[in-house]
Structure 1
Amino acid sequence: MTETSRSSSAGTVGGPFPWTVAGAGTVVTVALVALGLAWEGKPTPAFVGGVAVVFLAVTAVIHRSMVRAGTAHGRQPITAATWVTVVRAGLVAAFAGFLFTEPPGGSAAWVPAGLFAGAALLDAVDGALARRTDSVTELGGILDTEVDALLVAVGAVAVVAADAAPLVFLAVGVARYAFVAATRWRRHRGLAVADLAPSQFRRATGAVIMSTVFLALLPVPGPELSRTIAWLVSVPVLAHFLWDWLSVSGRV
């Protein structure tokens, strides 16, 4: 990256970045306080450390999204819909603490599924709000996609670690990151990358994966059913990612 492009990228982020990070941090803080009240064991140091690690990832996602959107379209406004996406990012970080500790018992056993569901359901809110208020922005679209990917990845790791989903479901969680990395590597090598045709299946994939993770996080009906459903979901999702790769690489 040249000196000019560095300064240009920095200028596209500017003032809104610390405010959005502070907003996500506020969501995390509120969630930790609520957990301290609802969870008898209280959030453990390992839990808080895991939240901090994923919050750093959330910060990087927000910054990268602002740079990408700003480089192409100039500095982007932080709309109400974008703030909803920022809240989602904070919930992802709060949920990620359960990757590093034993899940709570009693009534608090429902908390991991609740945090995940909050981050997933707000996905419908930010998009609808942006369209209703005529405030669709490039930043909002990029950040929404990146938060979706992070939520799916963290959720997949959580349910596989809890033995509520088979190991193959990890591939579903990281499939988008692998696809993006492979596409960029292909461009880096100077090879052609075709555009993907619109797909109704692709649009529904995210909702199906999130529903599968949510079911696996619930204390009931149990891991036997959730593992079976995760298998049934993994096969067509991974097959479709493979088909998309064959399409962008010009093999089909």
Structure 2
Amino acid sequence: MRIALLGVAALLAGALVLSVFNGPITGARWFGGGLVGWAFVLWQCHRRLHLNVASLDNRPFTGLGTANRITLLRGWLIGATAGFLAILPLPTSAGLLYVPAVFYSVAAALDGLDGYVARRQQQTTRLGTELDTVMDAFGLFIAPLVAVFTGKLPVVYLLVSVAYYLFQWGIRWRVQRGRPVYALPPSQLRRYLAGAQMVLVAFALWPPLPGSVSQWLSIALMIPLLLGFCRDWLHVSGWLGARREPAA
């Protein structure tokens, strides 16, 4: 509850600053959009609290720990970035566009720190693993939308934004129909491709980078990621690789 209230208070403070420099309508719209984003982050955490157990021996932890708090900070920054989707239809100054660039760049830079801290403190949890993945996907949903609104990324790049959610929907579809879902094989490439997208989107949001450069780069980087999702789907559906036991 304390973390939730701190997040709301930070959004309110940001809305007041925006109201001073850009008018109350801008501040109110950003606060509303950011609040929806923050609520989504909290919901994703709350529905996984039962996974706050050690990854190796399922030993339960009573607190979230520093690592999961860092992940929630990343989520707050992405939620705050989502607030700009509510104000970009309004006339905005060029200087204002630096704010979502800063928010998402910090969120992307913190990726990996939560896992490092969890390992250092010997508190790696299933909650942390899932929440980290969910925040990565949330960031790659929100930030590209902002970049498309500002003309820094092509609309087709939104395929990256929805790829994770379509993949998860496909898994649920198979489960609901009683079809087996096979575990994905370990892959460092999967992580590298996702990291490359975060770096690309973070740079694309910065106003000085020409849109022509970021648009061509995005096409080059999105193709291997989407091909990776197709390959992973063939794995989980049993069409590719040795058939393993269905995932739990």
Question: Which category describes the TM-score, using the shorter chain as reference length?
Answer: 0.7 to 0.9
Aligned pair partner of 1:156 in 125, 144, 151: 144
Q: TM-score by structure 1 length?
A: 0.83
Shift of 1:79: 0.3
Aligned partner letter, 2:142: V
Whole-angstrom CA distance in 2 between matches of 1:64 and 1:244:
25
The answer as to whether partners of 2:144 and 2:157 remain within 8 angstroms in 1 is yes
1:171 is aligned to 2:159: yes
Deviations 1:70-94, CA, capped at 9 Å, x for gaps: 7x87565210111111211111111
In 2: Cα distance, 1:79 partner to 1:217 partner:
31
The answer to whether the aligner puts 1:59 opposite 2:47 as a matched pair is: no
8 Å contact from structure 2 (residues 108, 202) kept in 1: no
* Aligned: 1:46 with 2:29: yes
| Mean CA deviation greater in 153-162 or 105-114 | 105-114
State the Cα RMSD in Å.
2.2
Residue pair 1:28, 1:91 contacting (<8 A) in 2 also: no
| 2:175 alignment partner in structure 1 | 187
Shift in Å at residue 186 of structure 1? Answer: 0.5
Give the 3-state SS of the residue equivalent to 1:168 in structure 2: helix
CA shift, 1:53, in A, is 2.0
Structure 2: which amino acid aligns with 1:90? W
- SS across alignment from 1:164: coil
Paired residues for 1:66-85 under 5 Å:
66-69=49-52, 76-85=62-71
Amino acid corresponding to residue 111 of structure 1 in structure 2: V
Greater percentage in helix: 1
Relative to structure 1, the CA distance from residue 199 to residue 130 in structure 2 (aligned partners, 3 Å threshold; closer, same or farther) is: same
Q: 1:242 to 1:137 in 2, by over 3 A?
A: same
After TM superposition, give the deviation of residue 34 of structure 1 in Å: 5.2
1: CA distance between counterparts of 2:8 and 2:136? 18
Q: 1:169 and 1:106 mapped to 2: Cα distance?
A: 23
Question: Would the aligned equivalents of 2:193 and 2:224 in 1 still touch at CA under 8 Å?
Answer: no
Q: Residue 14 of structure 1 corresponds to which residue in structure 2?
A: none
- Output the CA distance in 2 between the equivalents of 1:24 and 1:88: 11
Distance 2:226 2:184 in 1: 16
Q: Distance in 2 between matches of 1:239 and 1:220?
A: 30
Rounded Cα–Cα distance in structure 1 between residues aligned with 2:234 and 2:122: 36
1:106 is displaced (CA, Å) by 4.7
64, 78, 84: which is aligned to 1:92?
78
- Tell me which of 200, 208, 213 is aligned to 1:225: 213
TM-score by length of 2: 0.84
Aligned to 2:133: 145
Fraction of identical pairs, as percent: 32
Paired residues in the alignment total 233
The residue aligned with 2:238 is: 250
Cα distance in 2 between the residues matched to 1:133 and 1:68: 18
What are the ranges of 5 or more consecutive residues in structure 1 without an aligned counterpart? 1-17
5+ residue gaps in structure 2? 241-248
Q: Which residue of 210, 213, 219 maps to 2:198?
A: 210
Q: Distance in 1 between matches of 2:84 and 2:239?
A: 41
Give the whole-Å Cα distance in 2 for the aligned partners of 1:73 and 1:20.
Answer: 24
Q: 1:218 & 1:88 partners in 2: Cα distance?
A: 18
